Amino acid sequence: MTQSHATPLPSPKERRRLREAKSLSQAEIAARVGVTRETVRSWESGRSAPRGRRREVYTRLLAELANEQTVAGKPGKRSARRTSWAQNLPQPPVEDTKGGKSPSRIPVGAAINGHTRPEPVMRATTAVALAEPKPKPGQGQGQGQRQGQEAVEGEEAVEGARAPESIAGATPAEAFDALCSACAPGLVRQTYLLTGRRTLAQESVERAFQLAWQRWPEVAVDRDPAGWVRAAAYEYAMSPWHRLRPAHRHPDAPPAALDDRAFLNVLMSLPPAQRRTLLLYDGVGLDLPETAAETEASTPAAASRLLHARETITERLPELAATPDALHQRLGELCGAEKLRSPNAGRVRTGSEHRARFWTRAAIAFTALIVGATALTLRTAPTHYEPPQSPGKAISGVPPRMGPGRLTYADQILHKKLREDLSNGPERLTPLPR
């Protein structure tokens, strides 16, 4: 995949003037381009410049605003100079910011021998997730073409904020299927680079799309649906509870190539936070503030994680410090060499609906169980208050309880006489006269 020349842009002051001339707010421009209001403010102040697909969308929007102003009024020399940039869009741009760099991005020079970071080719509305790998030395042309084709097939990950215009009036199922078909292949490869497990990567992406279909009214109006799905897939893949699963107690089979195996081992040796930051910044191509926002960290913390990750990789693999885009291309080669299965959109929707029905029925059954237990408790509970018995107390002045006393001499004679007499007979019934 070849990278086209950057689209020319007007100066930051001209960008703001065009927006204010149409009485548009920064939020409205951000909604059209698919970014946040803070990003548009940064573009208009000159602190940063748009890149990739968003640069093209932003440039076309400014060109439309300039053309509308030209048609509405009679442009003079000054307005003709202002709109000259819109008439030569294919030409390379002239950097507006001082030094041609954006303060919102950190240079790679702190970690990779002073080289500046290359412009990523993975950031676009319907574009790529990882760069096209180059043929390795010793490979034939046919093998290099096959490997490049595999990488291109794995690059179709949606990273923009809006769905393609061709599905603007589609049904929810068709819009979801289009998002899944465009985003899933590259997202599976990204998740594989994040976890190093093929099955877990496929499961994470499928679970993320199931969650997206369950919350489709929320995801459909999100400014970055692909980013929403990506964040859900990353969170599920990096969950620490996976280590307790029996299927994940043993590592997956390593890649066939030795250099791919070595690079994957170095990548997996990084802490999860540094690995995710490196993948988002050098792999997906997010800006540093966007990377920090997605990883729920501050911008200095994300920059520190990125620098430490690069230092670790270049220390163990010095060849990645040879060129500025070596790390970027190496990530693309590693994920392009793997055969990973993408989830089917129809199967994802069916599985999501089955899961939703299962949990709905489980919630209903649990609620019914609680209601039944409550009813049984109310049925068997006492209806009135029974005070407890108070403990006994000792009472003084009462004589102790006495038993029968000893027999007297007369009683003993009588007792003996009765024992010697017969126990039955008429004598027991009729008293004898004395």
Query: pLDDT, tens digit, for every residue of 372-401?
Result: 999 999 999 888 888 888 888 888 887 777
How many structural domains comprise the chain?
Answer: 2
Residue 379 resides in a domain: no
Asked whether residue 141 falls in the same domain as residue 40, the answer is no
Q: Are residues 73 and 150 both part of a single domain?
A: no
- Among residues 69, 85, 101, the one where a domain terminates is 85
Same domain, 156 and 263: yes
Task: Examine the fold and report which residue of 27, 55, 85 is the final residue of a domain before the chain moves on.
Answer: 85
> What average pLDDT does range 222-233 have in this prediction?
89
Rounded distance between C-alpha atoms, residue 36 and residue 302, angstroms: 19
Neighbours of 163 (CB within 10 A): 21
Of the chain, the percentage scoring pLDDT greater than 70 comes to 72
Per-residue pLDDT reduced to its tens digit, 332-370? 888 777 778 888 888 888 988 998 999 999 999 999 999
- Same-domain status, 71 and 135: no
Looking at residue 369, what is its pLDDT?
96
Averaged confidence pLDDT in the chain: 75
Any idea what the CATH number is for the domain that residue 66 is in?
1.10.260
DSSP assignment of 30-77 equals HHHHTS-HHHHHHHHHTS----HHHHHHHHHHHHHHHHHHHHHS---H
Per-residue pLDDT, averaged over 153-161, amounts to 36
pLDDT at 422: 63
**Do 131 and 184 reside in the same domain of the chain?**
yes
**Is residue 116 scored above 80 in pLDDT?**
no
| pLDDT of 4 higher than 70 | no
Asked whether residue 216 falls in the same domain as residue 316, the answer is yes
> Is 99 part of a structural domain of the chain?
no
**Is residue 171 domain-shared with residue 316, that is, in the same domain?**
yes
Q: How far apart are CA 280 and CA 270, in angstroms?
A: 14
Q: Are 162 and 68 in a shared domain?
A: no
* More reliable by pLDDT, 111 or 73: 73
Co-location of 188 and 292 in the same domain: yes
Residues 70 and 127 in one domain: no
pTM: 0.53
User: Of 325, 348, 371, which one is at a domain's C-terminal end?
Assistant: 348
pLDDT of residue 133: 36
Q: Which sign, positive or negative, has the C-alpha torsion 28, 33, 35, 38?
A: negative
Q: Residue 365: its pLDDT value, please?
A: 96
Residue 177 lies in a domain: yes
CB of 51 closer than 8 Å to CB of 285: yes
Asked whether residue 391 is assigned to any structural domain, the reply reads: no
Residues spanned by the domain of 70: 12-85
- What's the alpha-carbon Rg for the chain, to the nearest Å? 41
Q: What is the pLDDT of residue 429?
A: 60
Q: Does residue 28 sit in the same domain as residue 167?
A: no
Same domain membership, residue 343 and residue 207: yes
378 part of a folded domain: no
